[in-house]
Chains A and B, each alone.
Chain A
Amino acid sequence: MAHAFLDNLPALQVVIPLLSAPLCLVLARWPRLVWTMCTLVTWTAFGIALALLQTVLAEGPVSYAMGGWAAPWGIEYRIDAVNAYVALIVTGIAAVVLPYAYRSVPLYIHGERVPLFYALLMLCFTGLLGMTVTGDAFNVFVFLEISSLSMYGLISQGRDRRSLTASFQYLVMGTIGGTFVLIGIGFLYVLTGTLNMADLAARLPDVTQVRTLHTAFAFIVVGIGLKLAMFPLHLWLPNAYAYAPSTATVFIASTATKVAVYILLRFVYTIMGPALFSEGIPYGQIAIVLAVMGLLTGSFVAIFQQNIKRMLAYSSIAQIGYILLGIGFASVLGLQAALLHLFNHALMKGALFMAVGCFVYRLGSMSIEDMAGVGRRMPWTFAAFVMGGLSLIGVPLTVGFVSKWYLVLAALQKGYWPLAVLILIGSLLAVVYIWRVVETAWFAKPSLRAAEVREAPLAMLIPTWILVLANIYFGVNTTMTVGVADLAARTLMESMR
């Protein structure tokens, strides 16, 4: 029995969350039971991800034939260092978000609709995990749609009616993105007659219709670029993050864009890389230009936001710029930096959005103006926000510093001097927008709202602080993250040869 369980880990990683979604509806009469079940599911998924990562590190990639149908006819789940690592991020964040949701969700959603919210959350979780572990290109599209559709639902649940327009905006852009991805995959299928990623990677270099291949590449990159909010395809993101319920914001901000980045890496490096990069088209440079524009505009616009969630959303666009920059370097060190920042950014933005969620829970407002003086009333939440902010800035002993270290080093290694400087300037812009909040929350005279609040409930503070402490722990002890990111980066680069 135990053996059968262990053998089927890759499938269970997706199937358990998938089954939990309808169960939420079955158990809808007992909302607490629903919450308990979902929490346990995320913890189980986290355990599975850990076990899979260990297996991959010890024995190399794991291949799992869905339903016993061998690839390339059946759907293959293929797990190597790269996606084991991404799955760990997704499940780890989910395992912290669910306990947080217990007190946070009722603020936005009442009574009978709570189980529906959890059902959507579990579907979204399933979709993201499915995209991560699958080794089949079409399967990616299926799970992409599962996660996207549930995400539109999650975002629309905000208290404000603006969440509806935000959701609709994302629905339109996301659907275009999804369709583009589908078209791209269709082209690949036409060219090679296979949908299995490993198979595609093996056959594409022999393809003679280069123009079709380029078209496929363009569709896929733009499609995924929409999902990961690559500049200038990021317009859906600020509103979506700002008006969604806190729980959904934390979850989506820390995981959804990360998985999209992973898919981009998979398609660009593993599948199409060998066929495309031999032609000398400067894809890397294009990515770098977009990344730099994203990180500068994102940071600048963040400085002028009045709504704190929007501010953090723009900061996310900037941080995605950092990740893309690492990818654009197309070197082991660059990829390592990008993968590290994938993990680290999930931790820091998760912590920040959770702290902001605590503020919003008590204040009932997202405007920075209303946060005046709130730091003295909610010292623990405020401290968590400051720590998260320091991590975002990249102060030593936090994960942000580790990311920055590798990213700048990757730029120097390539001889891209101005980029190294730009990365550090981005850091300084983060000081400006984080400190604006810190000063308002600490020094200003308490606003009418702030004067009456008290510290956030423990059920929200503890998960927040778990992420804050993770920011410090992985900032000091980098053995795990750096080691796995290095292995993952090498895995990706190897397929380029």
Chain B
Amino acid sequence: MTLVGAMQLAVVLPAAASLPIAVTGRSPNLREAVTLSTAVVVLLLVASAVPGVLAGERPEITLMEFVPGLSLMFRLEPLGMIFALVASFLWLVTSIYSIGYMRGHHEENQTRFYACFAVAIASALGVAFAGNMLTLFVAYEVLSISTYPLVTHSGTEEAKRAGRVYLGILLGTSIGFQLLAILWTWNLTGTLDFEAGGILAGHADGPAAALLLALYVFGIGKAAVMPFHRWLPAAMVAPTPVSALLHAVAVVKSGVFAILKVCVYLFGLDFLTSTGASDWLLYFAGATILLGSLVAMRKDNLKARLAYSTISQLSYIVAGALLASSLAATGAAMHIAMHAFGKITLFFCAGAIMVAAHKTEISEMDGLGRAMPFTFVAFFIGSLSIIGLPPTGGTWSKFYLALGSLESGQIWMLVVLMVSSMLNIAYLLPLPVRAFMAKPSTDLPDKITEAPLPCLIAIGVTSLGCLALFFYPDLLYQLASLVGAGAG
């Protein structure tokens, strides 16, 4: 199959699969079979494009002309390749996990859950393949709306309020800022295509460029740069697989991915450096990194802690984009994958603990490690990757981000990164340590065992992934360095 066909099919299939998923709702096994087989096919389709992209192919297809001269189009380039690979691989893993979690947790309305999930993945892949900013925006908005039913899944008053924050911030920033930025760009340049070296050079001067970039950075609310981060902790009321795949991978990565795209292919790294448009925004990213970690330390609810950790980690990628050096961009692109594997492992573990031991608060988890050793070892590996210690993949992305801060002369950013790593250690590692070492609290039920098998398989795959990415980062590095070199 041609690359173009594979690309289209990878977006269409999950979206189309929501229909058979909805129809087969009466028979859960059949329904899950549809989900899993679709996920496998999509992963194969996406993976089949890798050799071509590495060889320099940039398949592109115009879907529909939106206004004269501006079309909805897909174009596959290295950064999109990374994001699509990560999203489609982890969708498969999460689907396996969901089977164990949703049944073990006796969730209601599972059919709606799987159907919306499929649409969300389709739109995440749409974001990954977007050939211009308009297509990206369209897929971005579809993603916001298709995940709303997932966030409000439980239908409780709390879910309703969370949904309001979620949609309010995501729609508010995207319509209020991002759309304005897109129209401004279109008005200035007459194009929205992602091109190597950017399209804005020569069309906007310093202050205007800085304002435009700010509209993009804050308009892409999914990147959760403070002060527009509140939606992410709110979204934690969703079932754990949603938090894991969407709010650690697909949705949030769509955000940082979009910011990387804007910086590399709309502004161009050289243009950013020469105008200094990104310097002042770098402070927001740096502040988010530190404040996110600090807030995470104070959260006792495990999912809330992980959410704030995500906010902090996302800004690593935002900072990598704003540093506007090729090494930093490489590191940012790699961090998309590294953080995805690490954080999804942590969320999977949080869900496993919830299903098996019905615990959500960290202070209640003392001594649980003896009953659930597998889960907590995996949690430990995932934590190492988030902190950025060997032998896990997170090491590499942090390494390149650090080199990038030196390259662009922002030494203070290096300090921020290092301090944040310390904070990561402080809020992540105590959990597995106390789970194994501390005395179990007395009210712990006796017969706690590991979570259902599908959950364990998923946890095993992602934690092994964290390790594998340390020893075999070549493929990822090759793709990421193409991004860093600005090769659109």
Interface assignment of B53: CB less than 8 Å from any CB of chain A: no
Inter-subunit contact A393/B180 (CB<8 Å): no
With A and B bound together, what is the CA distance between A394 and B155 in angstroms?
Answer: 26
Q: How far is the CB of B287 from chain A (nearest CB, A)?
A: 26
- Check if B183 sits within 8 Å of A482, measured CB to CB: no
- Whether B164 lies near A412 (C-beta < 8 A) is no
Give every chain A residue within 8 A of B186 (Cβ-Cβ): 409
Binary interface profile of B, 347-373, with partner A (CB < 8 Å = 1, else 0)? 000000000000000000000000000
**A427 close to B175 (CB less than 8 A):** yes
For the complex, is A54 an interface residue (Cβ under 8 Å from B)? Answer: no
> In the complex, what's the smallest C-beta–C-beta distance from A191 to chain B, in angstroms?
41
Given A396-B142, A477-B64, A479-B65: A424 and B187 within 8 A (CB)?
no
Determine the distance from Cα of A314 to Cα of B152 in the docked complex, in whole angstroms.
29
Residues of B within 8 A of A107 (CB): none
Q: Is the CB of A409 within 8 A of B141?
A: no
Question: Per-position contact with A for B102-136: 1 when CB-CB < 8 Å, else 0?
Answer: 00000000000000000000000000000000000
- Name A399-452 residues within 8 Å CB distance of B: 402, 404-406, 408-409, 412-413, 420-421, 424-425, 427-428, 431, 435, 439, 442-443
Q: Which residues of A contact B184 (CB under 8 A)?
A: 412
Q: Which residues of B contact A402 (CB under 8 A)?
A: 66
Q: Mark A462-486, 1 if CB is under 8 A from B, else 0.
A: 0000000000000011110010000
Decide: B64 and A482 in contact? CB cutoff 8 A.
Answer: no
Residue B206 interfacial (CB < 8 Å) = no
In angstroms, how far is the closest chain B Cβ from the Cβ of A386? 9
A390 within 8 A of B: yes
- Least CB distance from B210 to A in Å reads 16
- B64: min CB distance to chain A, Å: 6
Closest A residue by C-beta to B156: A443
Expressed in whole angstroms, the Cα–Cα distance for A31 and B429 within the complex equals 77
Known: A443-B152, A476-B64, A479-B65. A394 touches B175 (CB 8 A): yes
Question: Contacts A393-B171, A424-B176, A478-B67 hold; do A439 and B164 have CB atoms under 8 A apart?
Answer: yes
Q: A405-B67, A425-B176, A443-B155 in contact; A396/B141 too (CB < 8 A)?
A: yes
* Alpha-carbon distance A439/B148, docked complex (angstroms): 12
Across the interface, which residues of B come within 8 angstroms of A408, CB to CB? 179-180, 183
Q: Which residues of B contact A390 (CB under 8 A)?
A: 145
Among A405, A476, A478, residue most surrounded by chain B Cβ atoms (within 10 Å): A405
Q: Contacts A431-B172, A482-B67, A482-B68 hold; do A412 and B141 have CB atoms under 8 A apart?
A: no
In chain B, what residue has the closest Cβ to A412?
Answer: B187
Judge if A23 is at the interface, Cβ distance under 8 Å.
Answer: no
List residues of chain A with CB within 8 A of the CB of B172. Answer: 428, 431
Is A56 part of the contact surface with B, judged by Cβ < 8 Å?
no
- Contacts A396-B141, A412-B184, A443-B155 given; indicate if A428 touches B65 (C-beta within 8 A): no
Task: Return chain A residues, CB-CB under 8 Å to B67.
Answer: 405-406, 478, 482
- Give, as a whole number of angstroms, the nearest-CB distance from A387 to chain B: 10
Interface string of B142-185 (1 = CB under 8 A from A): 10010000001001010110011001100110011001100110
Give the docked Cα–Cα distance between A476 and B160 (Å). Answer: 30
Inter-chain contacts of A477 with B (CB < 8 A): 64
> With A and B bound together, what is the CA distance between A390 and B167 in angstroms?
12
Q: B137: CB under 8 A from chain A?
A: yes
* Distance, CA A284 to CA B189, complexed state (A): 27
A408 CA to B180 CA, complexed, in Å: 8
Distance, CA A443 to CA B155, complexed state (A): 6
B23 at the interface (CB under 8 A from A): no
Is B138 an interface residue when CB atoms closer than 8 A count as contact?
yes
Q: Which residue of A lies closest to B187 (CB)?
A: A412
B163 smallest CB distance to A (angstroms): 8
Nearest chain B residue, comparing its CB with the CB of A395 = B141
Q: In the bound complex, do residue A431 and residue B142 qualify as a contact, i.e. CB atoms below 8 Å apart?
A: no
Q: Which single member of B167, B176, B187 contacts A435 (CB below 8 Å)?
A: B167
Judge if A173 is at the interface, Cβ distance under 8 Å: no
A109 at the interface (CB under 8 A from B): no
Which single residue of chain A is at the shortest CB-CB distance from B135?
A396
Partner of B175 from the list A424, A442, A478 (CB cut-off 8 Å) is A424
In angstroms, Cα B132 to Cα A396, docked, is 14
Decide if A397 is an interface residue (CB 8 Å cutoff). yes
User: Which chain B residues numbered 183 to 200 have a C-beta less than 8 Å away from chain A?
Assistant: 183-184, 186-187
The bracket for how many chain A residues form the interface is 20 to 34
Partner of A396, one of B65, B137, B152, B163: B137
**Min CB distance, A430 to chain B, in Å?**
10
Q: Are A405 and B183 in contact (CB under 8 A)?
A: yes
Closest approach, in angstroms, between the C-beta of B145 and any C-beta of chain A? 7
Q: A442 CA to B152 CA in the complex, in Å? A: 10
Find residues 46-62 in chain A having any chain B CB closer than 8 Å to their own CB. none
Q: Report yes or no: B164 in contact with A424, Cβ–Cβ below 8 A.
A: no
Bound CA–CA A394/B152 (angstroms)? 22
Closest beta carbon of chain B to A1's beta carbon, Å: 41
A395-B141, A428-B172, A431-B171 given as contacts; is B160 within 8 A of A443 (CB)?
Answer: yes
* A residues less than 8 Å from B72 (CB atoms): 476
B77-100 CB contact bits vs A (8 Å, 1 = yes)? 000000000000000000000000
Give A386's nearest chain B residue, CB to CB: B145
Given A428-B175, A435-B164, A443-B152: A397 in contact with B180 (beta carbons within 8 A): no
Contact (Cβ within 8 A) B183 A420: yes
Cβ contact of B138, chosen from A393, A394, A396, cutoff 8 A: A396
- Chain B residues positioned under 8 Å from A394 (CB to CB): 175
* Complex: chain A residue closest to B138, CB-CB: A396
Residues of B within 8 A of A397 (CB): 138, 141-142
Nearest Cβ distance between residue B170 and chain A, in whole angstroms?
Answer: 10
Give A421 to B172 CA distance when docked, in angstroms. Answer: 12
291-322 of chain B: CB within 8 A of chain A: none
Scan A346-386; emit 1 where CB is below 8 A from any B CB, else 0.
00000000000000000000000000000000000000000
Least CB distance from B169 to A in Å reads: 11
Chain B residues positioned under 8 Å from A413 (CB to CB)? 187
CA distance A402 to B187 in the complex (A): 16
Q: Complex Cα distance A424/B172, Å?
A: 9
Chain B residue at smallest Cβ distance from A421: B180
Is the Cβ of A424 less than 8 Å from the Cβ of B179? yes
Closest chain B residue, CB of each to CB of A443: B160
For A431, list chain B residues within 8 Å (CB). 167-168, 171-172, 175
Chain B residues with Cβ under 8 A from A428's Cβ? Answer: 171-172, 175-176
Q: Of B138, B160, B175, which is in contact with the most chain A CB atoms at under 10 Å from its CB?
A: B175
Complex-state Cα separation, A478 to B66, whole angstroms: 6
A395–B159 Cα distance when bound, in Å, is 23
What residues on A are CB-neighbors of B145 within 8 Å?
A: 390, 395
Chain B residues in 8 Å Cβ range of A479: 65
Expressed in whole angstroms, the Cα–Cα distance for A442 and B164 within the complex equals 13
Instruction: For the complex formed, measure the closest distance between the CB of B380 and the CB atoms of chain A, giving whole angstroms.
Output: 39
Cβ A424 vs Cβ B180 within 8 A: yes
Nearest B residue to A408 by beta-carbon distance?
A: B183
Residues of chain A within 8 A (CB-CB) of B164 are: 435, 439
Specify the chain B residue showing the minimal Cβ separation from A436: B164
When C-beta atoms are compared, the residue in chain A nearest to B183 turns out to be A408
In contact, B183 and A409 (Cβ under 8 angstroms): yes
For the complex formed, measure the closest distance between the CB of A450 and the CB atoms of chain B, giving whole angstroms: 15
Q: Hey, which chain B residues are within 8 Å of A396, CB to CB?
A: 137-138, 141-142
Beyond the given A409-B183, A439-B160, could you list 20 further A-B residue pairs with CB under 8 A, ordered by the A residue number? A393-B171, A395-B141, A397-B138, A397-B142, A402-B66, A404-B179, A408-B183, A412-B184, A421-B180, A424-B179, A431-B168, A431-B171, A431-B175, A443-B155, A443-B157, A443-B160, A476-B64, A477-B64, A478-B66, A479-B65
Of all A-B residue pairs in the complex, the 8 with the closest CB atoms, nearest first, are: A396-B138, A443-B160, A412-B187, A396-B141, A408-B183, A427-B175, A424-B176, A395-B141
18 contacts between A and B (CB under 8 A): A393-B171, A393-B175, A395-B141, A395-B145, A412-B184, A412-B187, A421-B180, A424-B175, A424-B179, A428-B172, A428-B176, A431-B167, A435-B167, A439-B160, A442-B155, A478-B65, A478-B66, A478-B67
> Hey, which bits of chain B sit against chain A, CB under 8 A?
64-68, 72, 137-138, 141-142, 145, 152, 155, 157, 159-160, 163-164, 167-168, 171-172, 175-176, 179-180, 183-184, 186-187
